[in-house]
Amino acid sequence: MSYVVEMLNIRKEFPGIVANDNITLSLKKGEIHALLGENGAGKSTLMGVLFGMYQPEKGMIKVDGKEVRISNPNVANRLGIGMVHQHFKLVDNFTVTENIILGSEPLKGIVLDIDSAANKIAELSKHYGLNVDPHAKIEDISVGMQQRVEIMKMLYREAEVLIFDEPTAVLTPVEIQELMKIMRNLIKEGKSIIIITHKLKEIKAVADRCTVIRRGKSVGTVNVAEASEASLAEMMVGRHVSFKVEKKESTPTDVVLKIDDLSVKNNRKVLGVKGISLEVRKGEILGVAGVDGNGQTELVEAITGLRKVESGKVYLNGEEITNIPIRHRIQKGIGHIPEDRQKRGLVLDYTLESNMVLEVYNKQPFSKYGLLNVPSIRKYAKNILQNFDVRSGEGAASIARTLSGGNQQKAIIGRELELDPDLLIAVQPTRGLDVGSIEYIHKRLIEHRDKGKAVLLISLELDEVLQLSDRIAIVNNGELVGEVKASETNENEVGLMMAGVGKERNV
Amino acid sequence: MWTIIEQIFPYAIVFTIPLLITALGGLFSERSGIVNIGLEGLMIFGAFAGSLTIYYLQGVWANQTLVLWTGLIMAMVAGVLFSLLHAFASINLSANQIISGTAINLIATALTVFLARNITGSGNIRITSGFSPTDIPVLSSIPIIGDLLFTKTYPTTWFILIVLVISGFVLYKTKFGLRLRSCGEYPQAAEAAGVNVRRVRYSGVLISGAFSGLGGALIIVTYAGEFTGSVSGLGFLALASLIFGQWRPLGILAATFFFGFASTIANVSQVIPELAIFPPILLKIFPYIVTLIALVVFSKSSQAPKAAGETFDSGKR
Amino acid sequence: MRNTIVSLIAIILGLIAGGILMLGIGSNPIEGYSYLFQGALKNIERIGNTLATATPLIFTGLSVAFAFRTGLFNIGASGQMLIGGLLASAVGLTYDFSRPVLLLLMVLAGILGGALWAFVPGLLKAKFNVHEVVSTIMMNWIAYWTVYYVVPGYFKGDFLETESRKLPEVATLRTPFLSEMFDGSYINLGLFLAVIATIIVAFIINKTTLGFELKAVGFNRHAAEYAGMRVNRNIILSMLISGALAGIGGVAMYTGNASSIQIGILPTQGYDGIAVALLGANTPIGVFFAAILFGILYSGTGFMNAMTEIPPELANTIIAIIIYFAATSILIERFLRKFWKSSSKDEEIVVPDVKKGES
Amino acid sequence: ACGGNDDQSANNGGNEAEKADLRVGMVTDAGTIDDKSFNQGTWEGILKAEDELGVTTKYLKPAGTTEAEYLKEIGNLYDADYKFILAPGFKFETAVFQAQDKYEDAKFVIIDGYPHSGDFEPAVKDNTVSVFFAEHESGFLAGVATALEIKEGEAGFIGGMEIPAVQKFNWGFQQGLTYANENLDTNVSIKAENVIYQGSFDNAAAGGQIAAQMYDRGVKVIFTAAGGVGVGAINEAKTRAKGGEEVWIVGVDVDQYADGIYEGEKSIILTSAMKKLDQVAFDVIKQELDGEFPGGETLTFDAKNDGIGLPEENPNLSEETVNAVSDVYEKIKSEEISVSGEQGDLLK
Ligand SMILES: Nc1ncnc2c1ncn2[C@@H]1O[C@H](COP(=O)(O)OP(=O)(O)OP(=O)(O)O)[C@@H](O)[C@H]1O
Ligand SMILES: Nc1ncnc2c1ncn2[C@@H]1O[C@H](COP(=O)(O)OP(=O)(O)OP(=O)(O)O)[C@@H](O)[C@H]1O
Ligand SMILES: [Mg+2]
Ligand SMILES: [Mg+2]
């Protein structure tokens, strides 16, 4: 049996935590190997070790049967290992070509040979069906395209082993389909792939084998064909996980959020939201479905006050809030799980406990007369962290930055739900979460609804929108395409509407 | 008025050049991701090394021009050596770049005077003669620009302008430039692409050392003629020009020239009756106020290298 | 705790490096240092002068540190000192109130002047995202020229164009009780103000919601905005406080240590403040002691120079080297960590802010 | 007196004088010991005393320019047993006022100023002498020499900051030009716009630029009393002279001839308006050693006691000029000519 990569008995510690404890993973040539585990289980860390970003305390890595010491990503590159990181490593104001050639630049004399590189990229792009524009700037292209740029980077360097860390978390369903196709193409060309994902469906769809880790330890490796989604989930979490969201029929009452003919400009200074009107009632979840970049961000930012409204009005519980300060909106009962947890959701250099009171530090009992009350803050934070099973090295005193992506997300959700807002705006609430956590979060969102609160759910994952929502509003190009009842629709219909078809089918 | 401008122009340019080259040095450093507020100190080291070299060689060598150029080279060497301190602290030790830069400034003012006194017996080092300005044959007789640009020019001016052009080329057209810029924008990306971030940042800082050292020495060989242990805040002004110039070579040229021109006007205003109608305080603060206004106007599109000032540590998420 | 040890080690390493320099020029470092410390602390008068020297540095150190903690780099403390000192002197030279009222007004004028001078960069940063490093440098020069023309224009001394009239006795921060207690030294009420300021700043940063907000804005203004904090207001506020601190530093300097304001000088204390803040790890208490250390070094050098052949510039070199070691404290930390590997793990993270787990 | 080498004379003075028991200290004013002005001039006199009289010397540089800092350094000298202390500059007035009481067994020499408590009421105690120079007379001589040498044309003046010593140089210079025009058949004028105080003693760039402007506007000779600003002006003049222009600088405080050398032996320093700080510093130290310390007195050094004047050697002055200036010098001594140290209706 020939393995391209073998990671044997890897151990990697971080302050206060053993991220990888005696983990073994072997990658066969030409296979797609999934790596599965809960948030914070140590997947990214393990791949970081393979890619030379971390040095393991113990263990051995073999590439093509030979023991190697991967002291930095350069070495990994030279060994034919490429990686697409959970957070893309692209320079925003560089072009696609510049990003791709960075580090292995073709030259004409002493001048960069951009043209020939661009040609080669266009060729590769065609060959693997990646469809990237070599001259576009990264900051101007969609997340999906950025990811394809990352893939292109590996291909450009002729990497043989490709690592994907949660590649689908940021993609639309269509983009995910495309990615799968691309991966299969890659395998056909003889490449080998390791993919980290929390989506069991995807594992079933593309992976050949799957290694499961839990809390830093190997649980085992299985052939995907012989495993079911349920069995994988159980291996990972250690208990049975239900995928079906259990919920009662909703009983919406008063209108909580009313949006009236709202128009909002986007970053490019043109209208990103064009005259949208919506209502969300107590006791219901309104899902907004749409392909990324069709006005969702602008819509949410307008409601939460992060962005100025061009025209139209926003009402909360019958009171106009179109132009009031953010803090007042929070006080009046808006909770917000933001799209970008690192940019908006957390002060990464603060402790977790500070982050847990980010919106309420100035309220009793966390402060009085402008003075912080640390014990009560800590108590409050510990409670949230416990409830939402946020795992970190040093508990409430951990620096937010040191948490795994999933745990950061859970912490934010916990914080927002703890505010018990009348209107909860949840943007991609389960992005990057493991199935166990997703189950839990979904349960909590429904609970929130059942308490008679309103939930506005924005997700790029059609599955999630379909399962959680009571009603679904579909947006395309900044406009409302239509609204449907979740119980009366299906993936196909919504998918079509997301593409801009079917305005007439309003509810 | 025109004659006044004609007369002032060459002096404004001479004053601009040391600022320009220093700011250009700062550009390389910041584009590689290292903020260098030690420019002032590096200029002082350059001025010191340059004048010391020239002071000793002027008695020994017949060829005065060669002496001056040797002085400039030694200034660059000194700048490089002392910028190593900054590079080591901020790159190898992930030190706070501001502290380390501040330390450079402090060390420079103290150490150079100490050394000057120990070596020459005086804290001030005077050179016998610097470069001489010349009118460039043919070109200086072109109307208008001949008077402005090709009259009373120093060879060093043209040299620095060539360096400016080369810098622009290196930054935007070469492999080194691409890597340098990537390290200043997103070093994690550069690292993942196999770029040796440390090495690139070292180059950036060392170039800033060489250029600022050169800038300091240019002051001596053009308009000052004497090392006194200070460059009167020009290093900080260069830093301001770098930001004002939006981290771009041509922007820096414009910003430094603006400072050069405005402060020359302010300096000579006392002698020029036509300018005496303005209260002197206005003329003196004019360059600074205009800079503030200009920054407001250009502020919408800040081009600061995103990672400048951040320590880079591969482990950081 | 960790920071303190690191700073102390930086100081010791700096002193050792200075000692090596002394050896290099053929002087005896032990003798040198002993005179240095004697010069600063030998008798009560010298202690008083050392404290007086440290006083403006405490203020500028706090000023820089406060701004730092909120993500801003204020290198305009010099200009803020000048304007603070100018306004305070103007009040002192113009009005004829009873001493307590006059002093209070002068301090308020200083606060106002410093805050005003920092307000502009703060506003430009908040509203137009203008880099505060440039704007504070510009403000420094504007302050320099303002003083340059305002002092001779309005507060000129009888015979001199280059400095203001001397403040009357009632309008200086020096008080007989302190001067006598410290044997005629220049120690003055500024030191009390500095102690109070240190406590207040420490309190604001660590214990108040205001500090919580300011730091949050400093670390991540997007998240702060998301959480409903008024980011622009906080940036401006932070600069105002930072400037006010430097402004009182100017009051202490020009109406305490001196009794007139001179033109043509940008006080070096503004830049030294950066060093003080950094050596003090940007914590108020740290700043306080770092400033005292600077006071000792600055005020002890004269005696060292007088008693030995060590030249004055060497003391400045030593200070610079200490700062450099403070900058490279990571090296020290790495070393310490190896050394203390077995000790508790919760001290491993070295982000000063969060380490205390205070907020 | 080009800075550098004189400093070392302490060490290599061949004929070691027998050790005198006096320890002489000096506190520098704003600026360094190498300022070619107050500090350096005074210090050179002290070094000469070390060389010839065998006193022990030391200078200290205060961290700033406030009274507190000056007093601190005076205290340091005192505690280190330097009890004969020279303080060059009017900025020491209030510090010396306090020191003379506080350190009664020490002696103080304050140059260009007198002790007072801040009220400008002179209070020279017995352990202090206050020394003034008649800068205006020195400036006058320079003015006469300048006018005689260039016969006709424009002159200019660049001062540093507007402090008394600098102002008096300026006023004297203007009177000298006028005197020559009226009595010695010259026609050298000075325009109001060409009399300026730059505002600092260290902005060499401004010095050069201002000098350039003046030269471009027809000024032939500039009298600089401006420290580092003057250095910039000298540099500009050298550059022009190398290019063949006829431009001159009149130096100040010390003989600046050497500073103006640009080619071989040619210098653009026409002459220098000197005040003999070194001589005076040396003299008071000598007086102290001889037991003749003029405590309590305010001494003025002027033409009469040769405390001011032009350099002995003036290679750029013609013999006639030198002779005519000597005549004028004598006339000042004999009070036939009186030079005013006040602005009166002079420029600035
Ligand atoms: N640089 C670091 N410093 C300290 N702790 C870290 C660091 N990186 C990771 N950890 C910790 O190591 C553990 C494993 O993190 P890792 O990122 O590998 O998880 P993951 O399996 O990728 O999780 P997710 O699915 O949420 O991305 C987490 O508890 C995390 O807090
Ligand atoms: N962005 C804003 N623009 C205008 N007025 C505001 C804004 N935010 C708050 N206010 C006013 O200020 C007052 C105090 O507001 P709020 O309670 O939200 O702030 P706070 O909690 O006191 O702020 P902090 O805790 O930051 O001091 C309110 O009465 C409100 O009218
Ligand atoms: Mg991960
Ligand atoms: Mg409040």
Please identify every stretch of chain D with a pLDDT value under 50, giving residue numbers as ranges: 1-16
Give DSSP secondary structure letters for B185-250: H-HHHHHHTT--HHHHHHHHHHHHHHHHHHHHHHHIIIII-EE-S--TTHHHHHHHHHHHTTT-HH
Chain D, residues 75-104, CB within 8 A of chain C, namely: 75-77, 79-80, 82, 90, 94, 102
**What is the pLDDT at residue D173?**
96
3-state SS assignment for residue A505: coil
Span C48-98, pLDDT tens digits: 999 999 999 999 999 999 999 888 999 999 999 999 999 999 999 999 999
Higher-pLDDT residue of A6, B142:
A6
Task: Return the structure tokens found at D63.
Answer: 């961290």
Which residues in chain A have their CB less than 8 angstroms from residue C354's CB? 349-351, 354, 399
**What is the pLDDT at residue A502?**
58
Cα D323 → chain centroid: 23
Give DSSP secondary structure letters for C107-165: HHHHHHHHHHHHHHHHHHHHHH---HHHHHHHHHHHHHHHHHHHHHHHSB-SS-SSBBP
C232 Cβ under 8 Å from any chain A Cβ: no
Q: Do C320 and B93 touch (CB under 8 A)?
A: no
CA C230 to ligand 2: nearest atom: 1
Task: Give all chains having 3 or more CB-to-CB distances under 8 Å with chain B.
Answer: A, C, D
Nearest Cα residue to A454 out of A325, A318, A326: A318
**What is the pLDDT at residue B301?**
67
Please give the residue of chain D at the shortest CA–CA distance from B15: D205
Distance (Å) from CA A393 to ligand 1 centroid: 9
A397 Cβ under 8 Å from any chain C Cβ: yes
Give me the half-sphere count of Cα atoms (radius 13 Å) on the Cβ side of residue B197. Answer: 27
Cα B158 → chain centroid: 15
D25 Cβ under 8 Å from any chain C Cβ: yes
Q: Do D68 and C148 touch (CB under 8 A)?
A: no
Nearest-Cα distance to chain D for B256, in Å, is 15
Residues less than 5 Å from ion ligand 4, measured at CB: A 362
C127, C226, C230, C233, best to mutate for ligand 2 pocket (most atoms within 8 Å of CB) = C230
Span D273-327, pLDDT tens digits: 999 999 999 999 999 999 999 999 999 999 999 999 999 999 999 999 999 999 9
Q: Do B224 and D208 touch (CB under 8 A)?
A: yes
Which residues in chain A have their CB less than 8 angstroms from residue C353's CB? 349-350
Distance (Å) from CA A369 to ligand 4 centroid: 9
Q: Do chains C and D touch (3 or more CB pairs under 8 A)?
A: yes
Question: Is A197 in contact with A211 (CB distance < 8 Å)?
Answer: no
Span B14-36, pLDDT tens digits: 999 999 999 999 999 999 999 99
**Distances in Å between the alpha carbon of C40 and those of A219, C48, C338, D72?**
67, 9, 36, 10
Chain C, residues 198-237, CB within 8 A of chain B, namely: none
CA–CA gap between residue A42 and residue A165 (Å, rounded): 12
Which residues in chain D have their CB less than 8 angstroms from residue B268's CB? 206, 209-210, 212-213
Please give the residue of chain B at the shortest CA–CA distance from D230: B224
Distance (Å) from CA C200 to ligand 2 centroid: 23
**Distances in Å between the alpha carbon of D161 and those of A235, C265, D25?**
84, 12, 27
Please identify every stretch of chain A with a pLDDT value under 70, giving residue numbers as ranges: 1, 502-507
Segment B242-252 mean pLDDT = 92
**What is the pLDDT at residue A167?**
87
Please give the biggest Cα pair distance in chain D: 59
Task: Give all chains having 3 or more CB-to-CB distances under 8 Å with chain C.
Answer: A, B, D
Among A95-109, B35-49, C344-358, name the one with the lowest average pLDDT.
C344-358
Nearest beta carbon to residue B270 from set D7, D36, D210: D210
Query: What's phi and psi for B136, nearest 5 deg?
Result: -75, 125
Distance (Å) from CA A363 to ligand 4 centroid: 7
Which residues in chain C have their CB less than 8 angstroms from residue B280's CB? 149
CA–CA gap between residue C47 and residue C26 (Å, rounded): 29
Which residues in chain C have their CB less than 8 angstroms from residue D93's CB? none
Q: Is A220 in the pocket of ligand 2 (CB under 6 A)?
A: no
Task: Give percent of chain D above pLDDT 70.
Answer: 95
**What is the pLDDT at residue D15?**
46
Distance (Å) from CA A69 to ligand 1 centroid: 22
Residues 6+ apart with CB under 8 A from B101: B35, B36, B37, B38, B39, B41, B86
Q: Is A395 in the pocket of ligand 1 (CB under 6 A)?
A: no
B294 Cβ under 8 Å from any chain C Cβ: no
C128 Cβ under 8 Å from any chain B Cβ: yes
Strands A471-476 and A285-289, by their bridges, are parallel
Element (H, E) at D109: strand D107-111
Which residues in chain B have their CB less than 8 angstroms from residue C352's CB? none
**What is the pLDDT at residue C340?**
64
Span A208-239, pLDDT tens digits: 999 999 989 999 999 999 999 889 988 988 88
Give DSSP secondary structure letters for D116-149: -SSS------TTEEEEEE-HHHHHHHHHHHHHHH
Residue C328 pLDDT > 50, yes or no? yes
Q: Is A17 in the pocket of ligand 1 (CB under 6 A)?
A: yes
Which residues in chain C have their CB less than 8 angstroms from residue D104's CB? none
Span D170-215, pLDDT tens digits: 999 999 999 999 999 999 999 999 999 998 888 899 999 999 999 9
Q: Is C224 in the pocket of ligand 2 (CB under 6 A)?
A: no
Give the confidence band of C330 by pLDDT, cuts at 50, 70, 90.
low
